[in-house]
């Protein structure tokens, strides 16, 4: 009840949700009755989870923030959602996002702009801005987002919460509406590292409905929080941490750099050995990402033709029905991505753009591999600035894309990364949070969670 009250009070200012469930209390009461009957409860019993609206939920609309899917309710739950429900979690509602995950502020949602709880004149980040704001304002306990190029980590940084992007393949993508399939992952938000880790554990694992989901064993990420000795003076003794040099270059706000450097000192006090490491291909990540993500999206979004799903614009003839449904259904950022991607994939340009970007992706993967052979974890800011004003970058797509510099490389390499608050810069009524990004080796989320938990 307290969460629902806060949700209702905050919602007119924040607009985090596109849909709120009307059965939350009834579900909670059912759990109370189970307790009275001494029935066993799942590990997520009573946990209020918000779900990004590009993740399918059987009993609630799932629009991906797009008019093209207005009024669409999927016939099934995404695997991650099914698992949460089976473990007793209660889905509190669907959160706002940039249309199909394309954006960094939630301003590209077809329905509403979400505000940052730290300063409602600012963006919460994106594309999972609704999920980050909802956790930050305690409208729910934890939430799911998706991260194709930073959409869990950058909003976590802007909203001062923990955001966890798992290794590609750790969590099933079944029921996640595809943006760029080779980069997309479902990720977790929480107010603490432990909460994000417990949620990740709940949704991880192989799924026969997603051929790219990994068969690797899922360690019990939550068990380690209990066994850790936080009173030791150097609990992280010997851990090798690489501070990525290229992420502290020009173009990064000085307040952000100094918060990250202070965090590095704190890690050193905890026993870590910190060295600067260079990833020479780092700056190539952004152009490679935008070519690959747009290319994949131009193919994935062809399914929204007004026939198979959602909204259909009536027309006399099939081709105009397709064209009108898309013209009215898609927003301008989505159209820009589809056009860019179609161009990059077209005969004559394919070699110069798509193929080249794939080659760059391999170079980036190798440079991360080398750096992670020598270090346990790499660290960097999560974004070059703290949350900026609503409207500030809305009409300048390139400036907005440039803000993804810290996060996109991680998706290109398929690695896990966790963002957690590490300081503040001036701004807003109470300062604005800055996020520290920790990047680990593939399938080593356990180590990220351990280090972050001790750091926190």
**Footprint on this chain of ligand GLN (rule: CB under 6 A):** 101-104, 127, 146-151, 179, 293, 404
Paired residues of 264 in beta bridges: none
366 is catalytic: no
Smaller CB separation from ligand GLN, 306 or 414: 414
Q: Label the pairing between strands 185-190 and 142-147.
A: antiparallel
Sequence-separated (6 or more) residues with CB below 8 Å from residue 421: 157, 160, 161, 162, 433, 434, 435, 436
Min dist CB 313 to ligand GLN, Å, is 26
Give the integer Cα–Cα distance in Å for 365 and 284. 12
Min dist CB 285 to ligand GLN, Å, is 12
Paired residues of 107 in beta bridges: none
Residues 3, 48 contacting (CB under 8 angstroms):
yes
151 is catalytic: yes
Smaller CB separation from ligand GLN, 201 or 393: 393
Out of 62, 127, 281, 297, the active site residue is 127
Smaller CB separation from ligand GLN, 187 or 235: 187
Min dist CB 55 to ligand GLN, Å, is 12
- What is the token pair recorded at 450? 């351990």
Give exposure, 199-226, as e/b (b: 16+ Cβ within 10 Å): bbbbbbbebeebeebbeeebeebbebbe
Min dist CB 111 to ligand GLN, Å, is 17
Min dist CB 165 to ligand GLN, Å, is 9
- What is the token pair recorded at 218? 């899922």
Name which of 97, 208, 214, 207 is nearest 148 in CA terms: 97
Give the integer Cα–Cα distance in Å for 322 and 341. 19
Smaller CB separation from ligand GLN, 186 or 449: 186
Smaller CB separation from ligand GLN, 274 or 334: 334
Q: Label the pairing between strands 273-277 and 185-190.
A: unpaired
Smaller CB separation from ligand GLN, 149 or 310: 149
How many other CB atoms sit within 10 Å of the CB of residue 128? 37
Residue 304 to residues 152, 311, 329, 356, 438: CA-CA distances in angstroms?
Answer: 25, 9, 9, 28, 36
Smaller CB separation from ligand GLN, 24 or 56: 56
Out of 16, 151, 214, 298, the active site residue is 151
Out of 16, 21, 52, 281, the active site residue is 52
- Residue 281 three-state SS: coil
161 CB-side CA count, 13 A = 35
- What is the token pair recorded at 147? 């991260």
104 CB-side CA count, 13 A = 32
34 is catalytic: no
Min dist CB 337 to ligand GLN, Å, is 8
Min dist CB 373 to ligand GLN, Å, is 27
Smaller CB separation from ligand GLN, 87 or 344: 344
Min dist CB 342 to ligand GLN, Å, is 16
DSSP secondary structure, 77-141, as one string: --HHHHHHHHTT-EEEEEE--SGGG--SSSTT-SS--PPBTTBTTB---SSSHHHHHHHHTTSSS
The span from the first CA to the last CA of the chain, in angstroms, equals: 29
Q: Could you give the residue numbers annotated as active site?
A: 52, 127, 151
């Amino acid at each position: 009840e307290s969460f629902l009250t806060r949700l209702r009070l905050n919602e007119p200012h924040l607009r985090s949700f596109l849909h709120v469930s009307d059965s939350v209390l009834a579900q909670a009461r059912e759990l109370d009755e189970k307790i009275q009957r001494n029935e066993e409860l799942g590990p997520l019993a009573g946990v209020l989870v918000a779900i990004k609206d590009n993740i399918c939920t059987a009993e609630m609309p799932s629009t991906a923030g797009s008019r093209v899917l207005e009024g669409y309710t999927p016939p099934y739950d995404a695997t991650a959602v099914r698992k949460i429900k089976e473990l007793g979690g209660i889905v509190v509602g669907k959160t706002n996002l940039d249309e199909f995950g394309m954006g960094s502020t939630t301003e590209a949602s077809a329905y509403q702009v979400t505000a940052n709880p730290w300063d409602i004149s600012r963006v919460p980040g994106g594309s999972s801005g609704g999920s980050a704001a909802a956790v930050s304002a305690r409208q729910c306990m934890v939430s799911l987002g998706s991260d194709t190029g930073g959409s869990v980590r950058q909003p976590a940084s802007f909203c001062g919460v923990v955001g966890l992007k798992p290794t590609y393949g750790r969590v099933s993508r079944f029921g996640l509406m595809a943006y760029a399939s080779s980069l997309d992952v479902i990720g977790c938000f929480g107010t603490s590292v432990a909460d994000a880790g417990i949620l990740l554990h709940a949704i991880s694992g192989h799924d026969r409905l997603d051929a790219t989901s990994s068969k690797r064993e899922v360690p019990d990420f939550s068990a380690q929080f209990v066994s850790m000795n936080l009173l030791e003076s150097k609990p992280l003794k010997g851990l090798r941490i690489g501070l990525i040099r290229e992420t502290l270059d020009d173009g990064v706000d000085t307040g952000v750099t100094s918060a990250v450097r202070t965090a590095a000192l704190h890690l050193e006090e905890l026993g870590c050995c910190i060295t600067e490491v260079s990833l020479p291909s780092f700056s190539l990540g952004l152009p490679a990402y935008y070519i690959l993500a747009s290319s994949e999206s131009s193919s994935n979004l062809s399914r929204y033709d007004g026939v198979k799903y959602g909204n259909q614009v009536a027309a006399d003839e099939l081709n105009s029905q397709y064209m009108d449904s898309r013209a009215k259904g898609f927003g301008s950022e989505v159209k820009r991505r589809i056009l860019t991607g179609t161009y990059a994939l077209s005969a004559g340009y394919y070699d110069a753009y798509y193929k080249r970007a794939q080659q760059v992706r391999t170079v980036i993967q190798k440079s991360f591999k080398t750096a992670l052979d020598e270090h346990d974890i790499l660290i960097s800011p999560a974004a070059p600035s703290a949350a900026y004003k609503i409207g500030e970058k809305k009409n300048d797509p390139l400036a907005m894309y440039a803000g993804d510099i810290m996060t996109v490389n991680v998706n290109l390499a398929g690695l896990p990364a966790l963002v957690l608050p590490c300081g503040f810069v001036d701004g807003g009524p109470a300062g604005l949070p800055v996020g520290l990004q920790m990047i680990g080796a593939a399938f080593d989320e356990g180590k990220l969670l351990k280090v972050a938990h001790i750091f926190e």
